[in-house]
Amino acid sequence: MCAGGAGVGALAYLLATGSGQQLKTEAPSSTPEILPGTPIALQPTGEVVDSGTTSVPGFPKKLVIEGEEYALVGLGIRTVSFLSIQVYVVGFYVHADDLAALQKALVQRIEKGASSLTSMEKQELRQRLLDPVEGEKLWEEVLENGRFRSAFRIVPTRNTDFQHLRDGWVRGIQQRSTKQASYDDERFASALGDFKALFGGAFKKSVPKQKTLLLVRDKEGVFKAYYDPTGRNDGKLGGEGEEQKLQKLGEITEPRIAKALWLCYLAGAKPASEPARKSIVEGVLEMASRPANTLAV
Protein backbone atom coordinates (compact mmCIF):
# COMPACT_ATOMS: atom_id res chain seq x y z
CA MET A 1 0.00 0.00 0.00
CA CYS A 2 1.20 3.56 -0.54
CA ALA A 3 1.12 4.17 3.16
CA GLY A 4 3.95 1.68 3.32
CA GLY A 5 2.16 -1.18 5.07
CA ALA A 6 0.58 -0.66 8.49
CA GLY A 7 2.63 -3.06 10.59
CA VAL A 8 5.69 -3.19 8.37
CA GLY A 9 5.94 0.59 7.99
CA ALA A 10 5.56 1.20 11.71
CA LEU A 11 8.15 -1.45 12.62
CA ALA A 12 10.64 -0.10 10.07
CA TYR A 13 10.19 3.39 11.41
CA LEU A 14 10.71 2.27 15.01
CA LEU A 15 13.90 0.44 14.07
CA ALA A 16 15.18 3.43 12.11
CA THR A 17 14.52 6.13 14.67
CA GLY A 18 14.37 4.65 18.17
CA SER A 19 12.11 2.93 20.67
CA GLY A 20 8.36 2.94 20.34
CA GLN A 21 7.95 4.39 23.82
CA GLN A 22 10.26 7.30 23.05
CA LEU A 23 8.46 8.06 19.80
CA LYS A 24 5.08 7.84 21.41
CA THR A 25 5.97 10.34 24.13
CA GLU A 26 7.65 12.71 21.66
CA ALA A 27 4.72 12.79 19.25
CA PRO A 28 2.56 15.92 19.75
CA SER A 29 -0.84 15.21 21.26
CA SER A 30 -2.47 17.55 18.78
CA THR A 31 -1.41 19.61 15.79
CA PRO A 32 -2.93 22.47 13.81
CA GLU A 33 -5.36 21.12 11.25
CA ILE A 34 -4.61 21.73 7.58
CA LEU A 35 -7.94 22.68 6.08
CA PRO A 36 -8.50 21.88 2.39
CA GLY A 37 -9.11 25.04 0.41
CA THR A 38 -8.05 27.00 -2.63
CA PRO A 39 -4.73 26.39 -4.36
CA ILE A 40 -2.34 27.76 -1.77
CA ALA A 41 0.02 29.41 -4.24
CA LEU A 42 -2.83 31.35 -5.83
CA GLN A 43 -3.88 33.02 -2.61
CA PRO A 44 -3.07 36.74 -2.80
CA THR A 45 -1.37 37.20 0.60
CA GLY A 46 1.48 35.61 2.51
CA GLU A 47 4.64 33.87 1.33
CA VAL A 48 4.60 30.88 3.70
CA VAL A 49 1.85 28.40 4.63
CA ASP A 50 1.54 26.74 8.05
CA SER A 51 2.92 23.20 7.80
CA GLY A 52 0.27 21.86 10.17
CA THR A 53 2.78 20.82 12.86
CA THR A 54 5.11 22.64 15.23
CA SER A 55 7.87 20.19 14.24
CA VAL A 56 8.30 21.68 10.74
CA PRO A 57 8.48 25.34 9.65
CA GLY A 58 5.92 26.70 7.21
CA PHE A 59 6.12 25.77 3.54
CA PRO A 60 6.96 28.44 0.94
CA LYS A 61 4.17 29.08 -1.56
CA LYS A 62 6.76 29.51 -4.29
CA LEU A 63 9.76 27.24 -4.72
CA VAL A 64 12.65 27.73 -7.15
CA ILE A 65 14.21 24.51 -8.48
CA GLU A 66 17.15 24.85 -10.86
CA GLY A 67 16.09 28.41 -11.65
CA GLU A 68 12.45 27.49 -12.35
CA GLU A 69 9.54 28.62 -10.19
CA TYR A 70 7.02 26.15 -8.80
CA ALA A 71 3.71 26.94 -7.05
CA LEU A 72 2.42 25.13 -3.97
CA VAL A 73 -0.95 23.44 -4.61
CA GLY A 74 -1.50 21.50 -1.38
CA LEU A 75 0.27 19.92 1.58
CA GLY A 76 -0.27 17.60 4.54
CA ILE A 77 1.35 15.41 7.18
CA ARG A 78 2.27 11.76 6.71
CA THR A 79 1.84 9.64 9.82
CA VAL A 80 2.79 6.04 10.54
CA SER A 81 -0.11 3.61 10.95
CA PHE A 82 -1.86 2.97 14.23
CA LEU A 83 0.67 4.89 16.32
CA SER A 84 -0.10 8.12 14.42
CA ILE A 85 3.56 9.10 14.56
CA GLN A 86 4.33 12.08 12.38
CA VAL A 87 6.97 11.21 9.77
CA TYR A 88 7.12 14.21 7.45
CA VAL A 89 5.18 17.04 5.86
CA VAL A 90 4.77 16.79 2.09
CA GLY A 91 3.82 19.59 -0.28
CA PHE A 92 2.84 19.26 -3.95
CA TYR A 93 4.20 21.92 -6.31
CA VAL A 94 3.47 22.55 -9.99
CA HIS A 95 5.69 24.58 -12.29
CA ALA A 96 4.26 28.11 -12.55
CA ASP A 97 4.23 27.92 -16.35
CA ASP A 98 2.42 24.56 -16.30
CA LEU A 99 -0.53 25.37 -14.03
CA ALA A 100 -2.67 25.95 -17.13
CA ALA A 101 -1.60 22.59 -18.60
CA LEU A 102 -2.68 20.77 -15.45
CA GLN A 103 -5.92 22.74 -15.33
CA LYS A 104 -6.71 21.79 -18.94
CA ALA A 105 -5.87 18.12 -18.35
CA LEU A 106 -8.34 17.96 -15.46
CA VAL A 107 -11.11 19.99 -17.08
CA GLN A 108 -11.01 17.99 -20.32
CA ARG A 109 -11.66 14.76 -18.42
CA ILE A 110 -14.96 16.15 -17.16
CA GLU A 111 -16.15 18.33 -20.05
CA LYS A 112 -14.52 18.19 -23.47
CA GLY A 113 -13.84 21.60 -24.95
CA ALA A 114 -14.54 23.49 -21.71
CA SER A 115 -12.11 26.11 -20.40
CA SER A 116 -13.29 25.78 -16.78
CA LEU A 117 -15.86 23.83 -14.76
CA THR A 118 -19.25 24.81 -13.37
CA SER A 119 -20.04 24.15 -9.70
CA MET A 120 -21.80 20.87 -10.58
CA GLU A 121 -18.92 19.75 -12.80
CA LYS A 122 -16.50 20.71 -10.06
CA GLN A 123 -18.39 18.49 -7.63
CA GLU A 124 -18.21 15.63 -10.12
CA LEU A 125 -14.46 16.08 -10.39
CA ARG A 126 -14.13 16.13 -6.59
CA GLN A 127 -16.05 12.87 -6.28
CA ARG A 128 -13.91 11.22 -8.92
CA LEU A 129 -10.64 12.42 -7.41
CA LEU A 130 -11.58 11.21 -3.93
CA ASP A 131 -12.86 7.83 -5.12
CA PRO A 132 -10.12 5.18 -4.62
CA VAL A 133 -10.61 3.61 -8.05
CA GLU A 134 -11.78 6.55 -10.17
CA GLY A 135 -9.23 8.91 -8.63
CA GLU A 136 -6.34 6.64 -9.45
CA LYS A 137 -7.60 6.12 -12.99
CA LEU A 138 -8.03 9.86 -13.55
CA TRP A 139 -4.61 10.81 -12.17
CA GLU A 140 -2.92 8.05 -14.12
CA GLU A 141 -4.42 9.44 -17.34
CA VAL A 142 -3.36 12.97 -16.41
CA LEU A 143 0.18 11.88 -15.56
CA GLU A 144 0.41 9.72 -18.66
CA ASN A 145 -0.81 12.33 -21.14
CA GLY A 146 -0.46 15.72 -19.46
CA ARG A 147 2.80 17.61 -19.98
CA PHE A 148 3.45 19.50 -16.76
CA ARG A 149 6.37 19.71 -14.36
CA SER A 150 5.73 19.01 -10.69
CA ALA A 151 7.52 18.24 -7.46
CA PHE A 152 6.96 16.94 -3.94
CA ARG A 153 8.79 18.76 -1.15
CA ILE A 154 9.32 16.51 1.88
CA VAL A 155 10.47 17.77 5.28
CA PRO A 156 10.84 15.21 8.12
CA THR A 157 9.27 15.99 11.48
CA ARG A 158 12.00 13.97 13.23
CA ASN A 159 15.35 12.46 12.32
CA THR A 160 15.08 9.68 9.75
CA ASP A 161 17.25 8.26 6.96
CA PHE A 162 17.26 7.80 3.20
CA GLN A 163 16.81 4.04 3.40
CA HIS A 164 13.67 4.24 5.51
CA LEU A 165 12.09 6.81 3.20
CA ARG A 166 13.14 4.84 0.13
CA ASP A 167 11.64 1.59 1.43
CA GLY A 168 8.25 3.25 1.89
CA TRP A 169 8.33 4.64 -1.66
CA VAL A 170 9.40 1.29 -3.09
CA ARG A 171 6.51 -0.51 -1.37
CA GLY A 172 4.08 2.00 -2.83
CA ILE A 173 5.52 1.66 -6.34
CA GLN A 174 5.48 -2.13 -6.12
CA GLN A 175 1.88 -2.23 -4.99
CA ARG A 176 0.82 -0.45 -8.16
CA SER A 177 3.23 -2.12 -10.54
CA THR A 178 2.28 -5.67 -9.51
CA LYS A 179 -1.38 -4.96 -10.32
CA GLN A 180 -0.84 -3.84 -13.91
CA ALA A 181 0.64 -5.72 -16.83
CA SER A 182 1.95 -2.43 -18.26
CA TYR A 183 4.70 -2.52 -15.62
CA ASP A 184 5.68 -6.14 -16.24
CA ASP A 185 8.89 -5.90 -18.24
CA GLU A 186 12.64 -5.87 -17.72
CA ARG A 187 12.97 -2.15 -18.38
CA PHE A 188 10.73 -1.25 -15.47
CA ALA A 189 12.36 -3.83 -13.19
CA SER A 190 15.76 -2.38 -14.01
CA ALA A 191 14.54 1.17 -13.39
CA LEU A 192 13.13 0.16 -10.00
CA GLY A 193 16.53 -1.26 -9.14
CA ASP A 194 18.10 2.05 -10.13
CA PHE A 195 15.57 3.86 -7.95
CA LYS A 196 16.56 1.74 -4.94
CA ALA A 197 20.24 2.36 -5.60
CA LEU A 198 19.68 6.10 -5.98
CA PHE A 199 18.87 6.36 -2.26
CA GLY A 200 21.45 3.79 -1.18
CA GLY A 201 25.24 3.66 -1.12
CA ALA A 202 26.79 6.95 -0.06
CA PHE A 203 23.35 8.40 0.63
CA LYS A 204 22.33 5.67 3.06
CA LYS A 205 22.65 8.18 5.88
CA SER A 206 20.49 10.22 8.17
CA VAL A 207 18.08 12.91 7.06
CA PRO A 208 17.77 15.26 10.05
CA LYS A 209 14.42 16.78 10.93
CA GLN A 210 13.47 19.97 9.09
CA LYS A 211 15.85 19.28 6.19
CA THR A 212 14.45 19.11 2.66
CA LEU A 213 14.05 16.33 0.11
CA LEU A 214 12.73 17.13 -3.36
CA LEU A 215 11.17 14.62 -5.73
CA VAL A 216 10.82 16.22 -9.17
CA ARG A 217 9.07 15.03 -12.33
CA ASP A 218 9.57 16.78 -15.69
CA LYS A 219 7.27 16.94 -18.73
CA GLU A 220 8.61 13.65 -20.08
CA GLY A 221 8.19 11.86 -16.76
CA VAL A 222 11.89 11.85 -15.88
CA PHE A 223 12.36 11.57 -12.11
CA LYS A 224 15.00 13.57 -10.22
CA ALA A 225 15.77 13.62 -6.51
CA TYR A 226 17.53 16.34 -4.52
CA TYR A 227 18.58 16.81 -0.91
CA ASP A 228 18.98 20.24 0.69
CA PRO A 229 21.06 20.09 3.89
CA THR A 230 20.15 23.70 4.76
CA GLY A 231 16.47 23.01 5.30
CA ARG A 232 15.49 26.50 4.19
CA ASN A 233 11.80 27.37 4.01
CA ASP A 234 12.03 30.58 1.98
CA GLY A 235 11.56 29.00 -1.43
CA LYS A 236 15.29 28.99 -2.14
CA LEU A 237 17.52 25.93 -2.00
CA GLY A 238 21.06 25.40 -0.77
CA GLY A 239 23.30 27.95 0.91
CA GLU A 240 26.78 29.37 1.11
CA GLY A 241 29.78 27.04 0.93
CA GLU A 242 30.42 23.83 -1.00
CA GLU A 243 29.01 21.64 1.77
CA GLN A 244 25.76 23.58 1.82
CA LYS A 245 24.88 23.30 -1.85
CA LEU A 246 21.78 21.50 -3.04
CA GLN A 247 22.72 17.87 -3.69
CA LYS A 248 21.31 16.01 -6.68
CA LEU A 249 20.96 12.39 -5.67
CA GLY A 250 20.28 11.18 -9.21
CA GLU A 251 17.60 10.67 -11.84
CA ILE A 252 15.54 7.89 -13.43
CA THR A 253 14.52 8.32 -17.07
CA GLU A 254 11.91 5.52 -17.09
CA PRO A 255 8.65 7.54 -16.72
CA ARG A 256 6.68 4.78 -15.01
CA ILE A 257 8.75 5.17 -11.85
CA ALA A 258 7.71 8.78 -11.26
CA LYS A 259 4.14 8.09 -12.34
CA ALA A 260 3.72 5.25 -9.83
CA LEU A 261 5.36 7.27 -7.06
CA TRP A 262 3.19 10.33 -7.76
CA LEU A 263 0.07 8.16 -7.57
CA CYS A 264 1.08 7.12 -4.06
CA TYR A 265 0.42 10.69 -2.94
CA LEU A 266 -2.36 11.71 -5.33
CA ALA A 267 -4.76 8.77 -5.34
CA GLY A 268 -5.77 5.34 -4.08
CA ALA A 269 -7.52 3.85 -1.07
CA LYS A 270 -4.56 4.56 1.23
CA PRO A 271 -2.47 7.45 -0.05
CA ALA A 272 0.83 8.20 1.68
CA SER A 273 -0.81 11.21 3.34
CA GLU A 274 -4.58 11.57 3.33
CA PRO A 275 -4.43 15.21 4.55
CA ALA A 276 -2.07 16.04 1.69
CA ARG A 277 -4.26 14.23 -0.84
CA LYS A 278 -7.35 16.17 0.29
CA SER A 279 -5.49 19.48 0.26
CA ILE A 280 -4.20 18.78 -3.26
CA VAL A 281 -7.67 17.79 -4.47
CA GLU A 282 -9.18 21.05 -3.24
CA GLY A 283 -6.29 22.95 -4.79
CA VAL A 284 -6.71 21.47 -8.25
CA LEU A 285 -10.50 21.84 -7.99
CA GLU A 286 -10.12 25.58 -7.53
CA MET A 287 -7.81 25.64 -10.53
CA ALA A 288 -10.34 23.72 -12.59
CA SER A 289 -13.08 26.26 -11.80
CA ARG A 290 -10.99 29.17 -13.13
CA PRO A 291 -10.02 29.97 -16.73
CA ALA A 292 -6.43 28.97 -17.45
CA ASN A 293 -5.34 32.55 -18.15
CA THR A 294 -6.09 33.54 -14.53
CA LEU A 295 -3.69 31.03 -12.98
CA ALA A 296 -0.60 33.23 -12.93
CA VAL A 297 1.22 33.22 -9.57
Is 170 among the domain residues?
Answer: yes
Residues 6+ away with beta carbon under 8 Å from 104: 146, 292
Is 1 among the domain residues?
Answer: no
Total domain count for the chain?
Answer: 1
Q: Domain containing 279: what range?
A: 6-294
With cut-offs at 50, 70 and 90, classify the pLDDT of residue 45. low
CATH of the domain at 246: 3.50.70.10
Residues 6+ away with beta carbon under 8 Å from 287: 39, 42, 73, 99, 102, 103, 106, 295
Q: What percent of the chain has pLDDT over 70?
A: 80
DSSP the chain: -TT--HHHHHHHHHHHH--HHHHHHHS-S--------S-GGGSSS-SEE--SSTTSPPEESEEEETTEEEEEEEEEEEEEGGGTEEEEEEEEEEEGGGHHHHHHHHHTTTSTT-SS--HHHHHHHHHHHHSHHHHHHHHHHHHHH----EEEEEEESS-EEHHHHHHHHHHHHHHHHTT-GGG-SHHHHHHHHHHHHHTSGGG-SEE-TT-EEEEEE-TT--EEEEEETT---SS----SSGGGSPEEEEEE--HHHHHHHHHHHHSSSS-S-HHHHHHHHHHHHHHHTS-GGG---
pLDDT tens figures, 137-193: 999 999 998 889 999 999 999 999 998 899 999 999 999 888 888 888 999 999 999
With cut-offs at 50, 70 and 90, classify the pLDDT of residue 204. low
Residue 37 CA from chain centroid, whole number: 17
Task: Report the predicted TM-score, pTM, of the whole model to 2 decimal places.
Answer: 0.85
Is 273 among the domain residues?
Answer: yes
Q: Give yes or no for a contact between 90 and 153, defined as CB atoms under 8 angstroms apart.
A: yes
* Average pLDDT of the chain to the nearest whole number: 82
With cut-offs at 50, 70 and 90, classify the pLDDT of residue 196. very high
Is 30 among the domain residues?
Answer: yes
